[in-house]
DNA sequence: CTGAAAGCGCTTACAG
DNA sequence: CTGAAAGCGCTTACAG
């Protein structure tokens, strides 16, 4: 960087961009805010200048002048604490600099749902982010729609038209994991399904069946157990899978909590993981590295998804304020297969 | 609220406070920032007015004019992911509105410590927050001191003079838990100790010995096991405690991860928790409600401690900027005993 | 569609 | 120790 003296606090302001583009600061501002009433020509020039100068809007300045900061609600029902913690980390990281206010409301059951929703609406939130499993509640989304409040659905397995969403491709993530197990040499692979009312659970299970079939492998009834995404349900499911004669050499659990339970059950039976049994999870929540052996799992970038949810929400709010329809953008984030200690070739 | 029209965006500004107190805005500003060069008289008047009007500084305005926002580093080594997530939740919540920037650096081992510290210093952070176990590293604190960078130590068992800190009273928290087990009727209580290089581990163990002794109970060698705060170390410790003849009817684990491991081992031995064995933890991290049965534990308000750490840090930075010495304030937060499903009277 | 002016709430830099 | 003036970066409200 050249050693010349800084004239102001911030290196590049919107004034610099305007000057560089040869337009007024107002026009530059309008372009930065996606305001429609700007000619294509100017829009392009400003965008180019902003990029060339690496302009970053000063959010303090913006929020100082703009009448109000965005108020974003996060409405959740019963996700795992670990998941929600990570998600909120992303939400707060992104909302902090933008000056947006975050209101978190929990609900369990229909009645408390009504109460929570009422509180959010009364606080006149500008938008509501719906982490799973509420992301799939038609009723919740319709209520919000009726109140003209934009929604961002997080980690839904079935994105809806006109409702913005962030997610990973659960189907392909699960396929990747099954293919990995296959490549390791496993043939008898067990599946612990997740709560069937959560759309990603369905996708992960379907990926299992499809990939096994594509490999020319049948799936025995005894090798599939229904779970509910909780540790406790994983305990029961793992017992079912491991008690039989022809027990699987690998178990694909639809999330980490149930995988952790599976390892606990296996240890209880004197089974070595991964020597006697490979166990893999999904999500890569903190429990994956808490337990021993550390879990091979599919990493879902939960923090990044929290950030993305806020960005999408801010965009929805702007659109609404300008009378434009919701973008209905569906952002698909990258999953990664994380190979740790709980997987190995079959005995 | 009266229905009169709002003159401006914010209900109460520093101008209102100044007018109410009959001083200039500058004086009001100085008082709000604890600037020393204000007479006692005016200081009192402004404070009273601010309180009367319920004045909340607009942080966007402040950060816009102030040359720079605070840059706060968080340097950590190897805490549990769950703990750090929760802690960061508090840090981000508090730093967001203040506009402070957070820089997180991880280090493992001496060499990477040097690298991480170098990055922080190069980014010219205004202060560094030290979560456990780095909160107890004299070397780290001295390096930071030498660079004239204020420190806030989090959850240290031995607060140092001149270094601000936030913590709970680990000793009394552990005493409360042991007394609870005693009251339940347990006499043979086992202890899983934590990493001895972490000061809170020492306090929790000492509380165990003292409380048992106060109850007139001896502690058998076989009823104490050394752990390292990890799940894996908890597995080994629990095996040691449960294999003997005269096994304990209750086990007090020095943290939740090791308690979770203990429950897994107990289940593996066919023991019912809490029917045959009571297991309790410490910290109340998310794992406490993930596992089954849910853990009775000592709640440490980690999120609130994250917020408090940022508040203390901002105060330290201000003091330093004004040439005053660090406050060396030690904030002690409240713990709570959370009674869930893993504890019951002895069989 | 584009712009000149004013001001959001606060604090810096200068006077006294 | 106290204050009047100016300005941080941005956008609202008004003109054209």
B68 part of contact set with chain A, CB < 8 Å = yes
pLDDT of residue B178: 98
DSSP character string of A270-302: T--TTTT-EEE-SB--THHHHSSSPPBEEE--H
Residue to test with chain A: of B239, B290, B293, B310, most A Cβ within 10 A: B290
Of residues B203 and B122, more confidence is placed in: B203
Number of Cβ atoms within 10 Å of the Cβ of B237: 26
Query: Contacts of residue A253 in chain B, CB cutoff 8 Å?
Result: none
Portions of chain B given CATH number 1.10.260.40: 1-57
Question: Average pLDDT, stretch A242-246?
Answer: 90
pLDDT of residue B5: 33
The angle that helices A109-122 and A138-146 make with each other, rounded to 10 degrees, is: 30
Tens of pLDDT, residue by residue over B98-108, are: 667 788 888 88
pLDDT of residue A323: 67
pLDDT at B340 over 90: yes
Nearest-angstrom CA–CA distance, A214 and B313: 58
* Confidence bin at B1 (pLDDT 50/70/90): very low
pLDDT at A37 over 90: no
Nearest-angstrom CA–CA distance, A157 and A138: 13
pLDDT of residue B8: 46
Percent of chain B exceeding pLDDT 70 equals: 94
Residues 222-251, chain B: which have Cβ within 8 Å of A? 230-232, 235
Q: Has domain A170-300 been given CATH number 3.40.50.2300?
A: yes
Pair A44, A20: CB distance under 8 Å: no
- Nucleotide D3's nearest residue (CA vs C1') is B24
pLDDT of residue A114: 86
Portions of chain B given CATH number 3.40.50.2300: 170-300
Question: Average pLDDT, stretch A2-8?
Answer: 35
pLDDT at A208 over 60: yes
pLDDT of residue A261: 96
pLDDT of residue A130: 96
DSSP character string of A228-271: -SSHHHHHHHHHHHHHSTT--SEEEESSHHHHHHHHHHHHHTT-
Residue with the two structure tokens 């707060």: A92
Of residues A7 and A296, more confidence is placed in: A296
Mean pLDDT of the residues in chain B: 89
Per-residue H/E/C for B176-239: HHHHHHHHHCCCCEEEEECCCCCHHHHHHHHHHHHHHHHCCCCCCHHHEEECCCCHHHHHHHHH
pLDDT of residue A94: 84
The burial of B218, by beta-carbon neighbours within 10 Å (0-12 exposed, 13-18 middle, 19 or more buried), is given as exposed
> Distance (Å) from CA B5 to C1' D2?
33
- Nucleotide D11's nearest residue (CA vs C1') is A65
Neighbouring residues of A101: CB distance < 8 A, sequence distance ≥ 6: A69, A70, A71, A72, A95
pLDDT of residue A103: 84
pLDDT at B6 over 50: no
pLDDT at A7 over 80: no
What element of type H or E holds A129? Answer: strand A127-130
Percent of chain A exceeding pLDDT 70 equals: 94
Q: Would strands A250-253 and A278-280 be described as parallel, antiparallel, or unpaired?
A: parallel
Question: Average pLDDT, stretch A286-303?
Answer: 95
A264 part of contact set with chain B, CB < 8 Å = yes
The CATH code belonging to domain A1-57 is 1.10.260.40
pLDDT at B52 over 80: yes
Residues 286-345, chain B: which have Cβ within 8 Å of A? 286-287, 289-292
- Nucleotide C5's nearest residue (CA vs C1') is A26
pLDDT at B2 over 50: no
* Confidence bin at B51 (pLDDT 50/70/90): confident
Show the tokens assigned to B4. Answer: 């009169």
Q: Is the dihedral of CA B199, B205, B209, B214 positive or negative?
A: positive
pLDDT of residue B323: 67
pLDDT of residue B326: 78
> Distance (Å) from CA B11 to C1' D11?
20
Query: Contacts of residue A89 in chain B, CB cutoff 8 Å?
Result: 85, 88-89, 92
A252 part of contact set with chain B, CB < 8 Å = no
Of residues B67 and B258, more confidence is placed in: B258
pLDDT of residue A8: 47
* Confidence bin at B97 (pLDDT 50/70/90): low
Nearest-angstrom CA–CA distance, A84 and B303: 13
Shortest distance between the Cα of A208 and any Cα of chain B, in A, equals: 25
Among A109-123, A213-227, A245-259, A299-313, name the one with the lowest average pLDDT.
A109-123
Q: Is B115 helix (H, G, I), strand (E, B) or coil?
A: helix
Among A186-195, A292-301, B47-56, name the one with the lowest average pLDDT.
B47-56
Among A308-317, B209-218, B221-230, B295-304, name the one with the lowest average pLDDT.
A308-317
Query: Contacts of residue A82 in chain B, CB cutoff 8 Å?
Result: 82, 85, 286-287, 290
Pair A255, A194: CB distance under 8 Å: yes
């Amino acid at each position: 960087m050249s050693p010349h003296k800084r004239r102001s606090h911030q290196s590049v302001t919107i004034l610099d961009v305007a000057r560089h583009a040869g337009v007024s600061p107002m026009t530059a501002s309008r372009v930065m805010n996606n305001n429609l009433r700007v000619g294509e020509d100017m829009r392009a020039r400003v965008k180019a200048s902003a990029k060339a100068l690496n302009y970053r809007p000063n959010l303090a300045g913006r929020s100082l002048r703009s009448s109000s900061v965005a108020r974003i609600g996060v409405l959740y029902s019963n996700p795992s604490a670990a998941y929600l913690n990570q998600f909120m980390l992303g939400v707060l990281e992104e909302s902090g600099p933008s000056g947006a206010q975050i209101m978190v409301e929990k609900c369990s059951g229909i009645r408390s749902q009504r109460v929570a929703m009422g509180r959010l609406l009364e606080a006149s939130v500008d938008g509501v982010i719906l982490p799973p499993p509420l992301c799939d509640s038609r009723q919740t989304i319709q209520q919000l729609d009726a109140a003209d409040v934009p929604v961002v659905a997080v980690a839904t397995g079935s994105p809806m038209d006109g409702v913005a969403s962030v997610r990973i491709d659960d189907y392909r993530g699960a396929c990747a994991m099954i293919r990995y197990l296959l490549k390791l040499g496993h043939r008898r692979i067990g599946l612990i399904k997740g709560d069937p009312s959560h759309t990603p659970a369905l996708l992960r299970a379907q990926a299992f069946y499809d990939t096994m079939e594509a490999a020319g492998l049948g799936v025995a009834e005894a090798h599939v157990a229904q779970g509910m995404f909780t540790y406790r349900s994983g305990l029961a499911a793992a017992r079912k899978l491991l008690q039989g004669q022809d027990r699987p050499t690998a178990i694909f659990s639809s999330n980490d909590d149930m995988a952790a339970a599976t390892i606990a059950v296996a240890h209880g039976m004197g089974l070595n993981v991964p020597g006697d049994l490979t166990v893999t999870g999904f999500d890569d929540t903190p429990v994956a590295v808490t337990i021993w052996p550390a879990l091979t799992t599919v990493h879902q970038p939960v923090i990044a998804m929290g950030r993305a949810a806020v960005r999408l929400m801010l965009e929805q709010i702007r659109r609404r304020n300008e009378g434009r329809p919701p973008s209905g953008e569906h952002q698909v984030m990258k999953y990664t297969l994380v190979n740790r200690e709980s997987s190995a070739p079959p005995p």
